[in-house]
Structure 1
């Protein structure tokens, strides 16, 4: 009877031990199989990945939105700028064209041209004055085309630095001026006497015969003579030549 109880307790203890070991093995085996904690790893990592992907997607969307906005803004700005430039150019051209169309070039019938000596002696320069006598406005274009001598049929050269920045438009009764160099004033220059000369106006028709100032006329050196552009007034620097 005592031996039977002892065997029964041993059997029960063995069964209990076996059950405990089975549970322990089951728990360990679940961890190693990757179906427990490891299977939860991807599931847990999926949320950050999805969040990251979502954030990336949102970032791209935001970037796309900004790009679209910038592009739209740029396009709008560019369009506005281009439109502005075009409008400005059109306005400028329209004004220029309108001005040129509405203001005819002065002809020799519109102005009276006279000559006077400047400084001297020796008299190295004269000043041409063209007064608008037409009763309407006209434009004095470029420089006077002058021929002093019968032996030199070409027009005397012009001085580029004397060209004014804006067109010279004369109202009724208004004058324009052009400085003309005759010579260097040297005693050994090859000068020729001139008592009258011809002037043409650029863009206009006709020829004006101008009397030289002084009873003896002027002395002209064909190697040195030059003319400035028509201006509203003579200017220091631009008309010094």
Structure 2
């Protein structure tokens, strides 16, 4: 009987030891899991933060690129070689090309224009206005002043007035006119005026003589010593054409 009791005590002791060891293992596993859980949670929480930081960096880079390439941004205002400078250069080239086009326009000839004369103001008629109108379908350039001879007895051209010279070439579009003011006399009764019913005009750049009918039924009275002519201009101008 003692032997039996001793065996039961031994079994109970072994079972108790096993139970203690089992509980200790469970406690150790629980502690291990509880210790590892915060680490996993911290990793998961840091992922959105990292993503946000990356997104912010990407947004910053995108914003920087947009500012550099946007109209009016730093890239466009980089220096004199930018688009604004190119536009200014183009404007300058446009003005230069306009002058080149005017210079390249062919000079008007006698066959390009129709020249007529009309009196200016009232009696005594001391001035007439010559009109040269482009009668073609193309542009031409009217240069200088009309070379006028009123009388067969006076072969010299009528002198020109320098102050009436225009600043730029006179380019006549199809149908467009140009004008030249011509002084006939001073209007005095003691002048040596001669009657003129027709006279000749020659354009610069063309030797063809254009016969022009004098205005009025009785023609015009011309004093060859007082006659003067202005340059061809798109319009008559006060001051420059007063002579």
Same fold, judged at TM 0.5 (above): yes
Q: Is the 8 A contact 2:102 2:141 kept in 1?
A: no
For residues 203 and 89 of structure 1, the distance between their equivalents in structure 2, rounded to whole angstroms, comes to: 31
Deviation at 1:100, TM superposition (A): 1.8
For residues 239 and 131 of structure 2, the distance between their equivalents in structure 1, rounded to whole angstroms, comes to: 19
Number of residue pairs the alignment of both structures matches:
155
Aligned to 2:210: 208
Deviation at 1:95, TM superposition (A): 5.3
For residues 149 and 200 of structure 1, the distance between their equivalents in structure 2, rounded to whole angstroms, comes to: 14
Aligned to 1:152: 154
Aligned to 1:126: 128
Distance 1:123 1:170, change over 3 A: same
Is residue 99 from structure 1 mapped to residue 102 from structure 2 by the alignment? Answer: yes
For residues 102 and 169 of structure 2, the distance between their equivalents in structure 1, rounded to whole angstroms, comes to: 10
Deviation at 1:93, TM superposition (A): 7.0
Distance 1:219 1:173, change over 3 A: same
Deviation at 1:120, TM superposition (A): 2.0
Pairing of 1:68-79 with structure 2 (within 5 A):
none
SS at match of 2:138: coil
For residues 235 and 99 of structure 2, the distance between their equivalents in structure 1, rounded to whole angstroms, comes to: 23
SS at match of 1:235: coil
Segments of structure 1 that go 5 or more residues without pairing to the other structure are 1-87
Aligned to 1:185: 187
Q: Could you give the per-residue CA deviations for residues 166-211 of structure 1, whole angstroms, max 9, x where no partner exists?
A: 1110000000000000000000000111000000011234221000
Deviation at 1:89, TM superposition (A): 10
For residues 158 and 215 of structure 1, the distance between their equivalents in structure 2, rounded to whole angstroms, comes to: 27
Deviation at 1:99, TM superposition (A): 2.9
SS at match of 2:145: strand
Deviation at 1:97, TM superposition (A): 4.4
Q: Could you give the per-residue CA deviations for residues 24-62 of structure 1, whole angstroms, max 9, x where no partner exists?
A: xxxxxxxxxxxxxxxxxxxxxxxxxxxxxxxxxxxxxxx
TM-score normalised to the size of structure 1?
Answer: 0.60
Q: 1:224 aligns with which of 223, 226, 233?
A: 226
For residues 94 and 232 of structure 1, the distance between their equivalents in structure 2, rounded to whole angstroms, comes to: 21
Aligned to 2:168: 166
For residues 207 and 95 of structure 2, the distance between their equivalents in structure 1, rounded to whole angstroms, comes to: 28
Segments of structure 2 that go 5 or more residues without pairing to the other structure are 1-90
TM-score normalised to the size of structure 2?
Answer: 0.60
What RMSD in Å do the two structures reach over aligned CA positions?
Answer: 2.1
SS at match of 1:113: strand
